[in-house]
């Protein structure tokens, strides 16, 4: 299958100014996928910013219904090209094609959702009252915006960043992850076919150095970042040291799943296994700290261990339609997860299922269940980002909430109970940006997504998502001047 490997700047595919390239190895069998991915350097970033800056006035002035038509056409093209885009994502980072297709379907809906907002970002007005001043508040686009994607859900993260920016009238520079750049590199052809004017959307590839150039650029008004907490802090610092550009950060989590004794156990097991493992555990809001009430813990642990063992049997070549679970994204991620498992063994933590490598090729890790790790152990406190859950028990609701909130993160959470009053009561006390009740949390175009505490700030998706790409302007009109005769 042929595919684009160049940078997309000002409506054209161009090589990197430095000639630097990235190589992508298959997580399935270690084979070379490509060694021709172009890396954006300083000159390339500057060119993309110049193109976006030049395109901004006309795109801002484009009628809302025309922007909406282009955005809907882009969504149609994503739908038309789903198979190819899914295969390329799978080849780069090992995501099963069946999962990749679902992770493109969501963005298609999101582009259409935000197309509905184009031209509908309303302002406000307030009467003069006693002060004699008529007041207007209007919401305007920020200008040139940028987004940096993580590798675990390229199309979802790209849509969260670009679609609301487009609807609000901004122009954009998207940087894909160096682990999964191939699929997003194809966007240039779709951008042109959809009818976006040159410079409105630009797509770059590169590692942290390219991201740093975007975060520190003086002509970028806002940057949205998804990735690790350490990299997010670096983005925030660079933004502050440059032009104080706006920043949205989504930095991962160590999310709790609370399972009460009146929960539907098969349902809780399914979402703690199949749902958790659907991207090999590489989901930022996945509930990796499973807290189970003591009275049902033995039965739950028995069932979840069996589910993880069955999941291991369902792991395989991610390019095959029947594959449910695939490898980790690359060798670096594989080594990281295996390092956590080695630490768990050294600490004497009970391994209920898995705990090692699967196969002799690729980056496959056995789905692993850790039983009652210490509250201060690395596997319990740090984000593993792999197919590993930790199971601990609790006595009552008060202890469950305490354990759930005992983390520096605050992105996702889940609650399993047949008592809806308790579900809502507990949800109200969990320190996290999202809560799923009786299900693993699923994102929606209509609702905001983001975290508390070290999981970042700002929101993507929903009406909050488009607010992050506008700025208010207040206009006061003195209504007390007498008319000239």
Tell me which residues are annotated as active site.
Answer: 250
Contacts of 38 (CB under 8 A, 6+ apart): 5, 6, 7, 15, 16, 20, 21, 22, 205
Contacts of 436 (CB under 8 A, 6+ apart): 271, 412, 413, 414, 415, 442
In angstroms, rounded to a whole number, what is the distance separating the alpha carbons of residues 479 and 128? 7
**What stretches of 314-413 show up as alpha helix (H) in DSSP?**
331-346, 378-381, 397-405
Token output for 242 = 């440059």
8-state DSSP, 33 = E
In angstroms, rounded to a whole number, what is the distance separating the alpha carbons of residues 215 and 63? 30
- Nearest alpha-carbon partner for 468 in 254, 162, 197: 162
Q: DSSP of 265-283, one letter per residue?
A: HHHHHHHHHHHHHTTTT--
Q: Are 407 and 375 in contact (CB under 8 A)?
A: no
Contacts of 346 (CB under 8 A, 6+ apart): none
HEC secondary structure over 61-100: HCCHHHHHHHHHHHHHHHHHCHHHHHHHHHHHHCCCHHHH
- Nearest alpha-carbon partner for 86 in 114, 108, 115, 113: 108
């Amino acid at each position: 299958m042929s595919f684009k490997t160049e940078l997309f700047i000002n409506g054209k595919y161009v090589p990197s100014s430095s000639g630097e390239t990235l190589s992508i190895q298959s997580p399935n069998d270690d084979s070379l996928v490509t060694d021709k991915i172009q890396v954006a350097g300083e000159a390339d970033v500057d060119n993309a910013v110049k193109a976006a800056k030049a395109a901004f006035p006309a795109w801002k002035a484009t009628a809302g219904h025309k922007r909406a038509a282009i955005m809907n056409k882009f969504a149609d093209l994503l739908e038309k090209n789903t198979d190819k885009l899914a295969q390329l994502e799978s080849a780069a980072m090992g995501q099963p094609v069946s999962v990749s297709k679902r992770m493109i379907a969501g963005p298609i809906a999101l582009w259409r959702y935000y197309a509905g907002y184009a031209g509908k970002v309303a302002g406000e007005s307030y009467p003069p009252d006693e002060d004699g001043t008529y007041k207007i508040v209007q919401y305007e686009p920020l200008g040139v915006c940028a987004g940096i994607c993580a590798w675990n859900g390229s199309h979802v993260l790209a849509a969260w960043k670009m679609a609301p920016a487009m609807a609000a009238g901004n122009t954009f520079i998207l940087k894909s992850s160096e682990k999964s750049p191939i699929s997003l590199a194809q966007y240039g052809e779709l951008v042109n076919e959809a009818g976006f004017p040159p410079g409105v959307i630009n797509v770059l590839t590169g590692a942290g150095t390219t991201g740093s150039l975007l975060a520190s650029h003086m002509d970028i008004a806002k940057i949205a970042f998804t990735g690790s907490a350490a990299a997010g802090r670096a983005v925030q610092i660079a933004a502050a040291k440059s032009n104080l550009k706006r920043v949205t950060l989504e930095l991962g989590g160590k999310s709790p799943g609370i399972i009460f004794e009146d929960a539907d156990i098969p349902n809780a097991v399914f979402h703690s296994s199949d749902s958790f493992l659907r991207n090999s555990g590489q989901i930022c809001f996945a509930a990796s700290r499973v807290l189970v009430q003591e009275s049902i813990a033995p039965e739950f642990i028995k069932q979840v261990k069996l589910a993880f063992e069955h999941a291991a049997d369902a792991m395989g070549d991610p390019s095959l339609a029947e594959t449910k679970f695939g490898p980790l994204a690359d060798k670096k991620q594989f080594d990281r997860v295996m390092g956590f498992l080695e630490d768990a063994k050294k600490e004497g933590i009970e391994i209920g299922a898995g705990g090692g490598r699967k196969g002799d090729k690729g980056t496959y890790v056995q789905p692993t269940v850790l039983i009652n790790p210490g509250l201060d152990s690395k596997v319990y406190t740090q984000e593993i980002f792999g197919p590993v859950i930790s199971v601990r028990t609790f006595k009552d609701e008060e202890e469950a909430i305490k354990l759930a909130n005992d983390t520096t993160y605050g992105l996702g959470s889940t609650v399993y109970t047949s008592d809806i009053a308790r579900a809502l009561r507990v949800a109200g006390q969990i320190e996290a940006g999202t809560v799923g009740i009786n299900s693993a949390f699923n994102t929606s175009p209509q609702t905001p997504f983001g975290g508390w505490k070290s999981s970042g700030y700002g929101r993507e998706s929903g009406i909050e998502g488009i607010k992050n790409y506008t700025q208010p302007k207040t206009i006061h009109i003195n209504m007390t001047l007498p008319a000239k005769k």
